[in-house]
Amino acid sequence: MTLAEDICPVPTIAPADTDAAIAAARAAVGLPVGTRVVAAMSGGVDSTVVAALLHKAGYEVVGVTLQLYDHGQALKKKGACCAGQDIHDARLAAETIGIPHYVLDYESRFRDAVIDQFADSYLRGETPVPCIRCNQTVKFRDLLDVARDLGAEAMATGHYVRRAVTPDGRVQMRKAIDHSRDQSYFLFATTAEQLDYLRFPLADLEKPQVRGVALDLGLRIAAKPDSQDICFVPNGDYRTLIDRLRPEGRQAGEIVHMDGRVLGQHEGVTDYTIGQRRGLNVAVGEPLFVTKLDPVKRHVIVGPRDALLTASLTLEEINWLGDQPTLEVAAAEGAAVLARVRSTRAPSPARLALADGAVSVVFDAGEEGVAPGQACALYDPADPDRLLGGGFIKSTAAVA
Give the three-class secondary structure for 46.
helix
CA distances (Å), 142 to each of 104, 110, 300, in order? Answer: 11, 10, 38
Is 231 known to be catalytic? yes
Question: Which among 8, 81, 131, 134 is annotated as catalytic?
Answer: 134
**358: CB partners within 8 A, 6+ apart:** 314, 315, 394
Query: What are the strands of the beta sheet with 154-156, ordered from one edge?
Result: 101-105, 60-67, 36-40, 154-156, 198-199
Q: Which helix (H) or strand (E) is 306 found in, with range? A: none
Q: How far is CA 2 from the centre of its chain?
A: 30
Q: Are the CB atoms for 54 and 30 separated by under 8 Å?
A: no
183-29-201-97 Cα dihedral, nearest 10 degrees: -130
Q: Are the CB atoms for 268 and 249 separated by under 8 Å?
A: yes
Question: Which among 81, 82, 131, 231 is annotated as catalytic?
Answer: 231
Q: Are the CB atoms for 51 and 99 separated by under 8 Å?
A: yes
β-strand 358-368 against 253-257: which pairing, if any?
unpaired
Is 131 known to be catalytic? no
β-strand 336-340 against 253-257: which pairing, if any?
unpaired
Q: Which ranges in the chain belong to alpha helices (H)?
A: 3-7, 18-29, 45-56, 71-74, 86-97, 107-110, 116-123, 130-134, 143-149, 192-197, 207-216, 238-245, 327-332
Q: How far is CA 73 from the centre of its chain?
A: 23
CA distances (Å), 352 to each of 102, 361, 379, 381, 383, in order? Answer: 44, 5, 12, 12, 17
**Integer Cα distance of 49 and 24 in angstroms:** 13
Give the three-class secondary structure for 353.
strand
Q: Are the CB atoms for 385 and 175 separated by under 8 Å?
A: yes
- Give me the active site residues, please: 134, 231
